[in-house]
Chain A
């Protein structure tokens, strides 16, 4: 018997029992769809994390003030006022440091003409655009001379432009009032999109950090120093150098607690990636279980089917079917059921992944390998769980089978 004939016999049996076949496939459809969605979530999360890491800036390290203990009350990390702009300048001179910028910030109401908007003001150094890998859309960025003179110039994020200058073709040269101090717009930032935590990174106005400290807040401390290492493999080295340098500058010796904290974004990314992996394992477990349940469903229905079709099997043996032909027929039937179920599952899975990425705003990536994997696993499940019923059919005694009521 050629394979085409066997396939045809199995296919006839499937289409003659449409409802039963569909119900049998249901388990497989759900299982495979679950696998495809799982893989999509996992891969999508990885891609998103990777994109966000590069979006944060290349080889980025963040120095923030540590916690302080006041009258026995320990404040949280970042509460202390310990970092100065000079710390930033000193860090910038370290070997393997490509650039460093102090950062100060406040949130306040800003006014331009008849429009106003509540936004984030970030006081930074000119190296900021390099560190964050953030390009200008138009105009220019402020310079070291602007830092030195605490110039009243600003660079606007796209969200701010939309809200302050909805009707203007270009905001360049316009005045923005920040706490009643007039700043001239000299540049605009390209669109950056959402950050890892979901905040709008384009809702920002960049000004020289000296201008922020002297003209707006009157502080002498900075809230953050962003550092860019020259190469990725030097990130840990730079991290140790910064700790040494700042301990020296802040006169921290012996068992004293550091009054600052150096964070390596790669660690954060690794943590995010690790949690994504955990999630993937969990979902994969659920998916494998549902595939198993689907396989057992196929075995159940095939066993019922063998019993129900005992006379048919007896007849087939009587008219000359070899045992191998009966085995092949039922095995192929199981594999076709699980395979077609798997295909439908892949289609549903991809559709669900697309829906989740569109409506759930979760990045979904459906890799071809994932689809192949889910489909092959489904087909294998069919072989595995189809073998026992098929072998039962092949070993039926034709005389008893023909008498079976």
Chain B
């Protein structure tokens, strides 16, 4: 158990749930365990009450504070919700899938799957980690979905309804059908190859004719199910391509398979000539395997839009008839009153009717500083109410709210995104035409020379030039590269992204959270150093963001004793340290109670949030707070520029802040633009795309999401909003911009490996084609050449050093 961490003098105790340091104001010496926040305390109580303390023996646990929403999830029991998402089994049990926030390790699986132990009536819970989906079954007579949802929420996994269940089932069926095909094709291929080995061994004349005939018939018997079963999809797709008058990779494949099989069957019947069966079945197996890998990679990209819907907020507190009820957001209409508590997101677009507070609007604007609002101000759905309760009169809800429109734009942008024409596909079209023409020519020429060999030679050509190495080269290398990248904290969805990123392009960076930390930090400090200890000691008693920033900046300073600490509204504090009265707060507050003879308030830069410290009524220090630029951001931008990329900044923050950040990372000020709304960002990206540029957009917020969805490649960074991650092709799970450089280098190496593979397979095919055209090829040689080329490609893909530490 990590609960008995020794308390060193000066060092804060560790949270019993998440092991993070516990801030001074949360420490309760009377309790056995300390917690960093009420969320963790609830989670700990819930876990221990359910007898699940085994959770705390996991070595690898979530090391983030629990952020449960404390909602009652009443809408989950609403009949409308139940008809949409809940299925009833014949045995009376109800099942549904919920998307859980914050799932990512072994301890999560353990905890979530213990739901039936803790909630009586819950029958089973199964978690799929890569998709964050929990499949739940419960007895509606004994418990309700909202009870299960509340339990998951208290543990720190706020659930959302998963709206893609129908699509999901269809995909699952597709995946399974493909796997079955591969399994059957593989088993048949191995056996036909074994028989072929026996035949080749007997080629040199020691096998009795009756056994040769027997083995040939066995091969035929094994090939028929492979061609008619798993192989059927090639004929179907070739036929579809012919009807659509397009050249498709499946046309020569279907021709080679069909011709090879029919000719082999004829030769088996007449007991003359080669049978080709080993080539045919291996081809089917390898092509199916390559296609499966490709399908999986594309599948992950297609999930994102579904995910997005699951993540929009779903309830509001409606004030009606003097009572407050929690209702689904869908049920709200304009001109109703909703209550928004401090810390909650605002559920609708509306006007503040009553109350005064500050909002975190970073979702919409990317602006890092809180915005003050009061009665009469317009507020938007998705922004977070920070300080005090607000009563909001609804104006727009759901789809028509600003956030809803942004999300729609995001979806539309992703649909408009032009598919990347892959190198392999481009080459394949060209290659197919050549092979078909060559086969025709071979047949015609041999008709004159030796009509008996004409068909055999043409078929040999089609089989030996089988594009299976070509078909394997791209998906296999991409899959290996994506797997390697994932181990380095770079999650790539959609293999297209790697191809785009391999070439230098226009790089558009968001500021808040991307170039900068995205949180408040101490940037400048003017004043005597001896006051730092006093400031830290006072700020330990506050939970305000400014206090957190002071503590982070001066973590190594030992606090001293502070007395009579009094928090004043808005994060301002007074207290007595060493007999002196210290006042900390905004200039507006501090200058009202203290004089400023040195005019310290005037020395602070515009783009920083000012905080003054007064000692005994005289201002002694001025601190500036801002969003610090991430360590290494400057080097990363420099490295990318050296590789031919052109970086620019597009931010919703005020221009002076954006300019300061641009200068800090070495981007010319004329390429940094501030005050950009989400709509502006989308337009800016579209304009560049219209100019024919390839645009790579990097961002973290919902305000970047439409632009990320529209860009040639969208990249989400660590700590980003879920909507942004849903839109992104690549997610950088490590902080900072370093992984971006690694991603670009890895993409370039991956494409190099792919080109090498394509070169090798085309080279093989050319040699094979030459041999076949001249009639030099025999079944033995063809059977050896084909798998060797595929094996070479597989080995190169596996051994390739695509994603590794750059430096």
Chains A and B bind each other: no
